[in-house]
């Protein structure tokens, strides 16, 4: 029942945005201001996700999140590049479409996982870990676009990617050092100063989130990565639950604006005129992404059940794809028709995401009844032996 309500609310936000946006009644046409507020929704959503995140459990799924995430991106780039070459299209355009399709929606998927209480489930941890890897890779993909577009040489592109990797390593190292030195003392001080009212602590938490998001963006990474890292840093302290309570209302407000802004990108006239092509494209994307991601997760020793859930969870095209699409268009990497097709496919795939999540429990139960998937009691048996030992050690230390 709760899930039905979540599904209806999210679809409602998307439909409301499409109705009042430029593609609907055109009641709101200043998209820059809307997108600015919507960006706060993504930031606070990722901050709250970081607060609920479990670093010990992330270490368990680290190999599949990092190596599997990189493998997924590489596979999509290879498959789309090969398809473009066979069809006589430009190889660079095919490789870009591969990077474009490899992105999944961190904001939308994490909202569903949080609302369903699945962030600490095995498939939830693998999904979130993969999404965070994709967020880390966005900066590298931005550096790759000028190379594909011909506006930067291969050497220049490699230098840009190497510089981003170095910056990312330094940023995470500094954050790790602050987590065990500065953060606990700072939060304890804020608790003491806000003993009469919670406003000061709430402002401090929001300011810390925005500060790290700004630092991450300033360094050429992403706002989302910085805000998520801010939440993870606080999650290691005893104040994680209290902090989440303080920012939950803010998160929900701006997350609603984010979902509505995604809906505003949907143009009913364009969808109606190209509904057959777009529906075929969305179905193809969902099927291909589900198969590729499921195969990658399964190759790391997880059961077909967990791999399938992760595959369906990541089957949409993410909001970062809009930014990649804009950057690719700026560098003349793709043509106008391809731009509109990818834009419509992305928007439509995000609209279908709530439906996919609603179908996951149904398909999973059907798979268990048909004995395609292991039962709930057999989930722990899917972990590789080394990861089982790590998981047991983690839980023993947390008890």
Tens-place pLDDT, residues 318-330: 766 766 776 777 7
What percentage of the chain exceeds 90 in pLDDT? 7
At a CB cut-off of 8 Å and minimum separation 6, what does 18 contact?
24, 263, 264, 266, 268
pLDDT at 289: 93
For residue 173, the tally of other CB atoms under 10 A from its CB is: 10
Query: What is the torsional sign of CA 311, 143, 220, 323?
Result: negative
Query: Where is mean pLDDT largest: 57-66, 69-78, 172-181, 389-398?
Result: 69-78
From 212, 218, 246, select the one nearest 232 (Cα to Cα): 212
pLDDT in tens, 167-225: 888 888 888 888 888 888 888 888 877 766 778 888 888 899 999 989 888 887 777 77
Q: Which domains does the chain have, with CATH numbers?
A: 2-398 (1.20.1530.20)
The pLDDT-based confidence of 291 (bands split at 50, 70, 90) is very high
- Lookup: tokens for 383: 């972990």
pLDDT score at 165: 78
The confidence score (pLDDT) of residue 9 equals 65
- Is residue 141 within 8 A of residue 102, CB to CB? The reply is no
Cα gap 166→187, rounded to integer Å: 29
Residue spans of beta strands (DSSP E) within 104-249: none
- pTM of this prediction? 0.67
- Closest alpha carbon to 355 in 289, 275, 282, 255: 282
Cα 212 off chain centre by: 18
The more confident residue out of 92 and 380 is 92
3-class secondary structure, 121: coil
pLDDT tens digits, 334-390: 777 787 788 778 878 877 888 888 888 777 777 666 666 666 545 445 554 444 444
């Amino acid at each position: 029942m709760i899930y039905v309500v979540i599904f209806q609310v999210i679809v409602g936000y998307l439909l409301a945005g499409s109705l009042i946006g430029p593609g609907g009644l055109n009641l709101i046409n200043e998209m820059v201001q809307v997108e600015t507020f919507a960006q706060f929704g993504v930031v606070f959503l990722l901050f709250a996700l970081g607060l609920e995140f479990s670093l010990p459990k992330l270490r368990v799924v680290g190999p599949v999140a990092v190596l599997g995430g990189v493998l997924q991106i590489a596979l999509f780039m290879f498959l789309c590049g090969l398809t473009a070459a066979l069809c006589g299209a430009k190889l660079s355009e095919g490789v870009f479409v591969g990077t474009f399709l490899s992105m999944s929606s961190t904001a939308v998927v994490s909202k569903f996982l949080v609302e369903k209480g699945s962030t600490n489930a095995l498939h939830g941890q693998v999904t979130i870990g993969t999404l965070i890897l994709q967020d880390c890779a966005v900066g590298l993909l931005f550096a790759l676009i000028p190379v594909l577009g011909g506006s930067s040489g291969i050497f220049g592109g490699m230098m840009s990617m190497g510089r981003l990797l170095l910056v990312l390593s330094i940023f995470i190292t500094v954050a790790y050092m602050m987590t065990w030195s500065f953060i606990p003392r700072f939060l304890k001080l804020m608790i003491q100063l806000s003993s009469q009212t919670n406003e000061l602590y709430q402002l401090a938490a929001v300011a810390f989130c925005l500060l790290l998001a700004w630092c991450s963006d300033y360094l050429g990474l992403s706002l989302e990565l910085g805000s998520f890292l801010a939440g993870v840093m606080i999650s290691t302290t005893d104040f994680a639950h209290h902090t989440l309570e303080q920012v939950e209302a803010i998160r929900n407000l701006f997350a609603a604006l984010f979902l509505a802004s995604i809906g505003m990108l949907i143009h009913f006239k364009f969808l109606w005129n190209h509904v057959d092509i777009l529906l075929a494209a969305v179905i193809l994307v969902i099927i291909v992404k589900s198969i590729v991601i499921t195969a990658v997760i399964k190759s790391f020793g997880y059961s077909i059940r967990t791999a399938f859930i992760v595959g369906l969870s990541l089957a949409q095209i993410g909001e970062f794809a809009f930014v990649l699409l804009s950057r690719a268009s700026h560098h003349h990497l793709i043509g106008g028709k391809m731009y509109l097709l990818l834009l419509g496919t992305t928007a439509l795939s995000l609209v279908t995401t709530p439906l996919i999540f609603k179908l996951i429990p149904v398909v999973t139960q059907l798979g268990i009844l048909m004995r395609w998937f292991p039962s709930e009691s057999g989930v722990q048996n899917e972990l590789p032996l080394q990861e089982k030992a790590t998981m047991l050690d983690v839980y023993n230390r947390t008890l």
